[in-house]
Amino acid sequence: MTITFRKACWQRVTIVVICTCIVVPGWLAAQTDAGKNTPKTSAQTATDPAVAARAHDDSYVIGADDILAVSVWKEPEVSRTVPVRSDGKISLPLAGEVQASGQTPHQLELELTAKLRSFISEPEVTVIVSEVRSQKFNVLGQVQRPGTYPLTSASTVLDAIALAGGFRDFAKQKSIYVLRQNPDGGQSRLPFNYKEVIKGKDAGQNVKLQARDTVVVP
């Protein structure tokens, strides 16, 4: 009787040990996976290498109407998403009014960091252009949908015509031109012969558009 009782006890202990060996590692793995899937805080996102690479872009120039995500490490009350006003400025707590238009995100980071030092010890500022709204071009004349369109890095004259819905019946397809603003304030007129370009002739006419270009279809 005693031997049978002891065997039963050992069997129960063995079962408990086996269950523990199976369940505990699984629970720990689940906790690890949960930690991996936990959404990043704004502070963690600000130090993410991929985000930092975008933030420290020293080629894109901020313009009016762009939307900026400004993150200040461990300062959620200062961090926020702000639009660039028509006067080129943004408003940020503690920093006040700051000229954003004409600067790159990295340049703006440096300026905001300098302004916030009076209030925050060693501020770490990240600026990301979350929405590009300042880079636009216009299409005017004998197209189906004349208007203003967002510019991408690959937009060409043909793209502009397609976005505008194509030509109207009496469009002069051989006499299209692009009006481009020069740095000195003047304008350049770049001719575009649609008939030639679609036949593969003088494809160089199909230039990449720049911000504030106007495609005119007579």
Q: Who wins on pLDDT, 5 or 200?
A: 200
**Same domain? 33 vs 58:** no
Spatial distance between the Cα atoms of 141 and 213, rounded to a whole number of angstroms: 14
| Averaged pLDDT, 8-12 | 50
Confidence of residue 186 (pLDDT cuts 50, 70, 90): confident
**Same domain? 47 vs 127:** yes
Q: What's the pLDDT tens digit per position in 95-123?
A: 999 999 999 999 999 999 999 999 999 99
What would the 3-class secondary structure string for 90-143 be? EEECCCEEEECCCCCHHHHHHHHHHHHCCCCCCCCEEEEEEECCCCEEEEEECE
**Same domain? 148 vs 192:** yes
**Same domain? 119 vs 145:** no
CB–CB of 102/38 below 8 Å?
no
Q: Which of 196, 190, 187, 185 is nearest to 209 (CA)?
A: 190
Q: Who wins on pLDDT, 12 or 156?
A: 156
**Same domain? 53 vs 79:** yes
Q: Who wins on pLDDT, 56 or 141?
A: 141
Q: Which of 30-34, 63-67, 82-86, 190-194 has the least mean pLDDT?
A: 30-34
**Same domain? 7 vs 72:** no
Give the model's pLDDT for residue 57.
54
Provide the residue range defining the domain that includes 174.
136-217
Spatial distance between the Cα atoms of 10 and 90, rounded to a whole number of angstroms: 73
**Same domain? 14 vs 92:** no
CATH code of the domain in which 66 resides: 3.30.1950.10
CATH code of the domain in which 177 resides: 3.10.560.10
Residues 30, 28, 41: CA angle, nearest 5 degrees: 60
Spatial distance between the Cα atoms of 213 and 192, rounded to a whole number of angstroms: 13
**Same domain? 93 vs 19:** no
Give the model's pLDDT for residue 11.
53
Taking 90 as the threshold, does the pLDDT of residue 216 lie above it? yes
List strand residue ranges (DSSP E) for the chain, in order: 67-72, 80-83, 89-92, 96-99, 125-131, 136-141, 147-150, 176-181, 187-192, 214-217
**Same domain? 116 vs 65:** yes
Confidence of residue 181 (pLDDT cuts 50, 70, 90): confident
Q: Who wins on pLDDT, 50 or 139?
A: 139
Give the model's pLDDT for residue 112.
97
Give the model's pLDDT for residue 182.
85
Q: What's the pLDDT tens digit per position in 13-45?
A: 455 444 444 544 554 444 444 444 443 443 344
CA distances from 88 to 46, 99, 115, 134, 207 (A): 24, 6, 18, 11, 29
Which of 104, 131, 158 is the last residue before a domain boundary? 131
Confidence of residue 133 (pLDDT cuts 50, 70, 90): confident
Spatial distance between the Cα atoms of 126 and 103, rounded to a whole number of angstroms: 14
**Same domain? 95 vs 171:** no
Widest pairwise Cα distance in the chain: 109
CA distances from 189 to 29, 176, 179, 193 (A): 65, 10, 5, 13
- Residue found under tokens 């400004």: 70
**Same domain? 28 vs 69:** no
Q: What's the chain's average pLDDT?
A: 81
Number of domains in the chain: 3
**Same domain? 92 vs 105:** yes
